[in-house]
Amino acid sequence: MYDVVLLGVLLAAIAIGFGLGVRHASRRRQRTHDSRPSGLSREYFVGLNYLLNEQPDEAINTFVNALDVNSDTVETHIALGKLFRARGEADKAVSIHQNLLARPALSTSTNEHVQLELARDFMALGVHDRAQRMLRALLDKSANDLYRQEAKRLLIDLLEREKDWQEALDVAQSLFKQQPGMQRPAAHWLCELAQEEIHQASRAIARKHLKKALQLDERCIRATLMLAELEMDNGHYTRAIEYLNHIPQQDIAHIPTMLPTLQHAYERNNDIQGFETHLYRLLGQAPYTSIIIALGELVHQRDGVDSAIEQTGEWLREAPSLGGLDYLIDLYHESQRLSGKTPPDTRLLLLKHHTNALLEGKARHRCRRCGFASDSLAWQCPSCRRWGTIKPITGVDGE
């Protein structure tokens, strides 16, 4: 990390040196009789000395003091502000960018560029009200489409952080055609609004939000799952199952996510046979561990533990997994207990100890974008903040 920072400082130093060199050359042409090096050049080399002695803070401060604000150096000041913000020193970035805005000679385009950077600084500091005011002012006044689009993107990000879902939707509305990727987060914002309506017992409004979410993103698992749960609350179990039946087509990786609700719907509908048939259909689509265990339990309850051992063993030969092995060991323990065998088989106890140790603390979900792992499902990744990218882990170590 230190090497990256040092590289950034070095690049900034080179940019500053270039700017100083250009200005110094201009001064030499104007004052050819004076061959003495300028004071600015001396400060620049002092900064380089700090840099070479691995003192980046002192180096940056020296470079900032050495560089006057003018049309040749404003981009370098902006770059230094970005560097401070990237290093977690957004307060210093604010000072640099506010100093730039105080200069009346800045062009309109440059002024708006600096305002964008200052808004980012305030966001990094958590001063969201000031950032929001700056971004809304840019949206109202800027004639530069690129700056307007960036201001809108930053404002949406800010509103999302503040959980102002409706306002984020209103701002993003005009971006859906130009940026289709905005539709996925917008669908989740609608799910958030639906959740709020459910808490206020406004289920009809919640259902409208969820259907709108599916219009924006037809693969929004969360909206489908919430619609199924609303049908469950109303006692419409067959309708809930119909909604859940869409989830494998939306995203097959989320079959484990829907299984508890699916099982509950069939149980409340007094249709265990239908649940078993549904599980066999899902097993043919994706032989996940949770499906195998659910089927194993149904066989166990209907035909006994030995039949469950036989069936589960066959399924695991086709799709081995650590979780499936752990379940199979439990079945063997149950079989020995029922047969009256004492003491328990020490080999099984040892295997159970090892599977428990391997499964303990193991994450069950992972973000497909940044790799963040957690035991529970989150619809927005806490690390990269992308929506709908966290899914159940599959394979030998997972589902």
Of 25, 8, 74, 19, the C-alpha closest to 43 is 19
Report the distance separating Cα 97 and Cα 93, nearest Å: 6
> Does the annotation place 191 within a ligand binding site?
no
Structure tokens at 273: 């046979």
Rounded to whole angstroms, the Cα distance separating 292 from 320 reads: 10
d(CA 40, CA 296) in angstroms, rounded, equals 78
- DSSP H helices, the chain, are 2-30, 39-52, 56-66, 74-86, 90-101, 108-125, 128-141, 145-161, 165-172, 183-199, 203-216, 221-233, 237-244, 247-250, 255-268, 272-285, 289-303, 305-318, 322-339, 346-359
Structure tokens at 312: 């589960």
Q: Supply the DSSP string of 122-146, one letter for each residue.
A: HHHHT-HHHHHHHHHHHHHH---HH
Q: How deeply is 144 buried, as exposed, middle or buried, from its count of CB atoms within 10 A (0-12, 13-18, 19+)?
A: middle
CA distances from 296 to 32, 125, 244, 315 (A): 92, 53, 21, 9
φ and ψ at residue 398, rounded to 5 degrees = -135, -130
Residues 6 or more apart whose Cβ sits within 8 Å of residue 186: 168, 169, 172, 176, 213, 216, 217
Fill in the amino acid letter for 147. Y
Contact criterion met (CB below 8 Å) for 63 and 80: yes
Is 220 annotated to bind ligand? no
**What is the sign of the dihedral through the CA atoms of 136, 142, 148 and 150?**
negative
Binding residues, by number, are: 367, 370, 381, 384
Binding residues for Fe cation, by number, are: 367, 370, 381, 384
